Structure 1
Amino acid sequence: MKNISILASIAIVLMAATILLNHPGNAFAQTDDNMSMNKTDEYMMKDYVKINGTIDIMNTMFQAISSKINVTLTDAIGTAEQIVGNESKAMFAKADEKNGFMVYSVLLVTPDMKFYKAFVDPGNGQVLLTKEISKMAWIKMMHPDYGSDYDKKKMRGDYKDHGYDKSKW
Structure 2
Amino acid sequence: MDILSKKVLIPAIVAAVAVGAIVVVPSAVAAAEEQRMGHNMPQINGTVNAGEAMKDYLNENVDVTFTEATETAQAEVEDGRIVGGHLGVVQGYVVYRFFIVDPDGTGYMTIVDAGNGEVLYTSEGMEMGAFHGPMGFGGQSHWKGHGGWHGAGWR
1:51–1:37 Cα change, 3 Å: closer
Aligned residue pairs: how many? 107
> What one-letter code is carried by the residue in structure 1 that aligns with 2:69?
A
If asked which structure has higher relative contact order (CA below 8 Å, sep 6+), I would say 2
* Match status 1:125 vs 2:120: no
* Aligned counterpart in structure 1 of residue 38 of structure 2, from 35, 43, 47: 43
Q: For 1:13-24, list aligned pairs within 5 A.
A: none
Q: For 1:51-90, list aligned pairs within 5 A.
A: 51-85=44-78, 87-90=79-82
**1 CA distance for matches of 2:35 and 2:62?**
44
* Match status 1:96 vs 2:91: no
TM-score (normalised: structure 1): 0.53
1:147–1:121 Cα change, 3 Å: closer
Whether contact under 8 Å (1:76, 1:104) holds in the other structure is yes
Whether contact under 8 Å (2:94, 2:114) holds in the other structure is yes
- Higher mean Cα deviation, 49-58 or 106-115? 49-58
TM-score (normalised: structure 2): 0.57
Which protein has the larger Cα radius of gyration, Structure 1 or Structure 2? 1
**Residue aligning to 1:108:** 100
> What one-letter code is carried by the residue in structure 2 that aligns with 1:139?
H
1:68–1:107 Cα change, 3 Å: same
**2 CA distance for matches of 1:43 and 1:137?**
48
Give a deviation string over 1:43-92, Cα, whole Å, max 9, x none.
Answer: 366xx95443332111012212321101112211111111212x211000
Whether contact under 8 Å (1:117, 1:133) holds in the other structure is no
What RMSD, in angstroms, separates the aligned Cα atoms of the two structures? 3.0
